[in-house]
Amino acid sequence: MLQDLGDEVGKKFLEDKKMQDLLSKRNNSILAHGLVPVKREDAERMFESVREYVELVVEDAEGLMIESEFPKL
């Protein structure tokens, strides 16, 4: 929908083959619709990919992420 509205981030997302691969793995995983466990490397790659998109659209994303961390005792 974002791409159809001319949104650059939406266009980038649909053209991002790495993200599409990660989403496919997520959708086939036990975290979503399938039975396949997610490998640690894939989870870390997904986190970093999502973080890149968040930083494109959220002002001070890094600061907000730091503020929302669980306290370390």
Q: What are phi and psi of 5, to 5 degrees?
A: -85, 0
**pLDDT of 3 strictly over 80:** no
Residue 51: other Cβ atoms inside 10 A? 13
Confidence (pTM): 0.74
Give the pair of three-digit tokens for residue 13. Answer: 């997302």
pLDDT per residue over 13-61, tens digit each? 989 999 999 999 999 998 888 898 999 999 999 999 999 999 999 999 9
Q: Give the pLDDT score at 55.
A: 92
Give the pair of three-digit tokens for residue 42. Answer: 């894939």
